[in-house]
Amino acid sequence: MRVTLLGHASVLVELDGATCLMDPVLADPFEEGTVVSCPQRTIDADRLPPIDILVISHRHPDHFLRAHEWLNAFLFPISRARFVDDLGQLSPQTDTVVMQPGDVIDIDGEHIRHRPGASALARTDVDDTWRIAFDPTAPVPPLRDDNPDGYADSEIATATREVILDGVAGYVERDSGSDDRLLGAYVSHRATYRVDVVFPDDRVRWYRFDFGDRPPGVTDGSGVGPPSDLVHRIAASALTGWSSHARSFFSARASSRRAGAIHQPVRDGDDVRLETRPLPDLLMYYLLRKAEGSELAAKHEVDHQLQRLRAGTPRGA
């Protein structure tokens, strides 16, 4: 048996009589132009052998890769080397190796041989894994909207206002008195929630929901928004594409940032402690669960991407 790492989560397994390709991500960038593999690699897809088995494990862009470098630096303290070190502590008798794109492992019975760079199909161009090193003290760059889909300013302004004031606010007004569990949690904690929409010219439009009001109220404005328990800051073009099912949740996530939680003081005898009560993100919940057509969003996204591929204009090309 021969195992070849192609990069990202893509692995080619060649057995006697069958060839299996797992999670094929063969070009960069991917995830609609928001993600690239790390380390940098090149794959010659024309050299792929006939594939007998194709395995798609899941849809998440969460393997050892580079999305936005700040995201890895602050949220993912796990690297391949760290994983191997941890495994070595748990199971010191297990032989481990960190593979690079283009590395091959040959398995012949009990004989296992690691052959760095032996593949004619894939190769490592630059070992730039330093870009995703975990460093929570590094400065976070400001969120910018590069508008990769080229939306007109008026289109973005209209779409973002509609999805928040008509969509999210309509859902809050309609269902806050029902048995909706998410809205019930927001109301019980009298939470405040703010969406900051960042436009390509760096303008910011904010929308703030106050669940301490009866019924919950929404206000909006420009610039720096008022203090809120939870904040979701998102690029206007990403929200436009996400709400229209032209862009996936994963690519929109790379163009947004979220922070905040509810903190509640609790008395325990003579002691008082502060408990954190995390709440699901309101905008995400609405678009993924409550918006019209959300149950078919994944299908619409795939259809949209296939149309672009057929037209020869894949996102990120």
Closest to 143 in 3D by CA, of 284, 239, 241: 239
pLDDT the model gives residue 35: 78
Reported as a single tens digit per residue, the pLDDT across 182-229 is: 999 999 999 999 999 999 999 999 999 999 998 999 999 999 999 999
Q: Per-residue pLDDT averaged across 53-77, rounded?
A: 67
Contact indicator for 12, 6 with CB cutoff of 8 Å: yes
Give the integer Cα–Cα distance in Å for 229 and 252: 22
**pLDDT band at residue 64, thresholds of 50, 70 and 90?**
very low
Q: DSSP label at 32?
A: T
Query: pTM value?
Result: 0.78
CATH of the domain at 282: 3.30.1050.10
- Rounded mean pLDDT of the chain? 87
> Residue 285's domain spans which residues?
153-310
The two structure tokens encoding residue 198: 């960042």
| Domain finish residue from 69, 102, 132 | 132
Q: Does 140 map to a domain?
A: no
Q: Does 274 map to a domain?
A: yes
pLDDT at 174 over 80: yes
Report the number of distinct structural domains present in the chain.
2
Give the integer Cα–Cα distance in Å for 166 and 174: 11
Q: Per-residue pLDDT averaged across 247-251, rounded?
A: 81
Closest to 244 in 3D by CA, of 306, 195, 292, 290: 292
Q: Does 141 map to a domain?
A: no
Q: Tell me which amino acid residue 270 is.
A: D
Residues 6+ apart with CB under 8 A from 68: 34, 254
